[in-house]
Amino acid sequence: MDETCTVSHDCALGRLTGLNQNGIFRFAGIPYGWAQRWRLPQPAEPWQGLLDATRFGPVCPQAPHRLDRVFGQHPAGQSEDCLSLNIWTPGLVERRPVMVWLHGGAFVFGAGSQRLYDGRLLAAQGVVLVTLNYRLGAFGFVALQAASDGALPSTGCEGLADQLLALDWVRRHIADFGGDPDNVTLFGESAGAMSIGALLSAPSARGLFHKAILQSGAAHIGQDPVRAEQVGAALLAALNLTRSTAAQALARPAHAIVAAQSVVQRNSRNGRHRLGTLPFQPVVDGTLLPQAPVAAIRAGAAAGITLLSGTNRDEWKLFTAANPRLRLMRKEYFRGRITRFAKDSAAEMLAAYEGPSAFEQFNAFMTDKVFAEPCRRLLEAQARHATCFAYRCDWSSRFLGGAMGACHGIELGFLFGAYRARLPGTFFGRGAAADALSGALRTAWTGFARSGEPGWPAYEPNTRQTMILGNAPPRVVNRPQEERRLAFAPIADLRLGP
């Protein structure tokens, strides 16, 4: 039976009231900062009176997304005043390991308050869980300085700066909520994991977290300044503004910015402006991100930070399984795509992706190109400087008759427990095997947060030991999908987006 009551609590910033949910305290919508549009965030000030922390705060303005039905709508609406965080803790006195979650959403949608990210189950295993909102899309990841001749100040790293400010808030204040500021694990999925890949390389992030878990996202991101200026110019054009009138964008309502962002995304997907499939992403601005993240990590920028990183077996099927046109893909099309991508090593790559259909080959290739290979390269870069662990999730979704396989995001429902709910359970799956996977994930993740050990051998570049989690009992394998890894070996560093 779900028993919930309100509870009041004092912290250094003021007094607040939250909820006690069956012995887990939840404090929601706590402001960690504020920001003017396209400017760096500033720390939140102590509040006056009693802060109502029983409800989540508003989320960054964003367009609706088809995954909202599974991941949950945003309960508090949208606002540019969105820099808040949420805490689940099993106690308010004893210092416990802290886990800070960065949500995914392609850098353009999502929130830390989505139903999918309920922190009670993880907190019940003895950690303090923090989720947060940060600025997205055209509010947090677009560089407008060059495109506006300096009239608009954004560098394209405002969203990362928000995440850094939230981590600094955790360092200063999490002890008031039973957390240990000297044992902070940053974890995230998809764009959240890619954000962590960027923060691992950021000098200003040093000391703010001590371990990291990257789920289906790595460090092969970072828009170069030339392309970033093109994205900024495309956003201004979508707002019907020019360099000389760019300052007017500061007064445009948030919904107009979101609409312009959607125009840029549509044009980018159809190749009109050649901005790539992820036009809104962190920018290598020379300050917060001095260089491409994976290169900085390879050189030791994150030395000493223990990593747990992995992917799902069929990541790309989240984006293709429901598309009947792609299911009719011809093998000639797939061969042409591989030839253009791999050039002189196309024959070896085609051999590595032999399969029953072009559709299956395409999904396997895109899973590796966007997720698995960047993950492997991150692990090999960081293994020079710290202990690393690898996993792969092979649980297949039962949705659409199993057509989605172990797709992107499939592990989330089990990690946070949303698979037990009716609608999400239709997507993730239920039953004894689902319960076992959920327990294994939560035990490994919280164990890693506690001690830096998830419960299996460390990743070594020679053996590439990887824990396989899914329908079957967990098992460690050496060099999984080695032929596919070798096929990517001649390809230079992959950059997500172009």
Positions annotated as catalytic residues are: 190, 315, 408
In sequence order, the 6+-apart residues with CB closer than 8 A to the CB of 277 are 268, 269, 497
Contact 185, 99 (CB under 8 A): yes
DSSP states of 302-335 = TTT-EEEEEEETTTTHHHHTT-HHHHT--HHHHH
Three-point CA angle 271, 497, 304, nearest 5° = 175
Half-sphere exposure of 5 (CA within 13 A, CB side): 5
Tokens of 460: 């070594």
Task: Go through 278-303 and write b for each residue having 16 or more CB atoms within 10 A of its CB, e for each that does not.
Answer: bbbbbbbbeebbeebbbbbbbeebbe
Identify any residues that bridge with 98 across adjacent strands, giving them in sequence order: 128, 184
Q: How many other CB atoms sit within 10 Å of the CB of residue 12?
A: 9
Identify any residues that bridge with 388 across adjacent strands, giving them in sequence order: 307
Amino acid at 275: L
For residue 111, which of 65, 54, 43 has the smallest C-alpha distance? 65
Place of tokens 């600025």: 135
